[in-house]
Structure 1
């Protein structure tokens, strides 16, 4: 049984800016990858005042966009990748790939396309409950992906080993 792929993107959003700051995704074997993203200069507002974002940290520790795009092409080629559907993930993915003049190698779909027996509100309630039960910080994208993997397992979409 193939394990569904999931993605979660943390981001900064102000009146003047919207850009990804970290991303996590799952692989076909259930492992996850997560990286901090070095922002493209075109994403940043002229005044550089961004609440709750440490630009120095992102610039020093973040993965360059071309490297991120390369890894995503290797890990998720021609895949349908599921999101929680709560964030502007499609816009954020477009920002990442358009900044390096590439097309995304995968198609985004809401988790409701995968878990069809539950409505969106129920899925979100269950995801939130799983995060609470596991003591997961919802601000970390790897925790969002992990919660979606747990939900898919609970719904019988991932076999138990």
Structure 2
């Protein structure tokens, strides 16, 4: 049995900008990958205001979106990838692939499509509680993916190791 795939994106959002800065996703075997994303120049606002986002860090540590897209094509082809439904994940994925003139190799769906026994509020409460119980910082996308993996495990959607 393959594990459901999960994805979480950290992003910059100001009055003039919305773009991904980090992403994590899970693989068929339940492992995770996480990257910092180097922004495209046309994603940056003219006034240079990125709020609390460190542009130098993104430029020095981030992977180019072409490399990111290649990895996503390898890891998530023709998959349904589940997200927590709280962030503009679909917009951010579109932004990455549109910049490359490509279509995303996967579909995004809210976690409520996978875990159907709870309504979205109860599911979000459980996700938040998992984050607290595990001591996970919510702004790290790998922690968001880990929390979704734990929820899927609780629901019997992952094999026990």
TM-score range with shorter-chain normalisation? over 0.9
Residue aligned with 1:71, SS: helix
How far apart are the structure 1 equivalents of 2:72 and 2:159? 25
Q: CA deviation at 1:154?
A: 0.3
Does the CA-based 8 Å contact 2:14-2:49 persist in structure 1? no
**Corresponding residue number in structure 1 for 2:54:** 54
Q: CA deviation at 1:147?
A: 0.1
| TM-score in terms of structure 2 length | 0.99
| TM-score in terms of structure 1 length | 0.99
**Corresponding residue number in structure 2 for 1:26:** 26
Unaligned runs of at least 5 residues, structure 2: none
Which structure 1 residue ranges, 4+ long, deviate > 2 Å from structure 2? none
How far apart are the structure 2 equivalents of 1:77 and 1:51? 34
CA-atom RMSD in angstroms: 0.6
Q: Number of aligned pairs? A: 161
Q: CA deviation at 1:151?
A: 0.2
1:105-143 CA distance string (max 9 Å, x none): 000000000001110001100000001000000000000
1:111 aligns with 2:108: no
**Corresponding residue number in structure 2 for 1:78:** 78
How far apart are the structure 2 equivalents of 1:121 and 1:9? 20
**Corresponding residue number in structure 2 for 1:45:** 45
Residue aligned with 1:103, SS: coil
Unaligned runs of at least 5 residues, structure 1: none
1:39-89 CA distance string (max 9 Å, x none): 001110011121110000001110000000000000000000000000000
How far apart are the structure 1 equivalents of 2:88 and 2:40? 18
**Corresponding residue number in structure 2 for 1:3:** 3
How far apart are the structure 1 equivalents of 2:126 and 2:49? 36
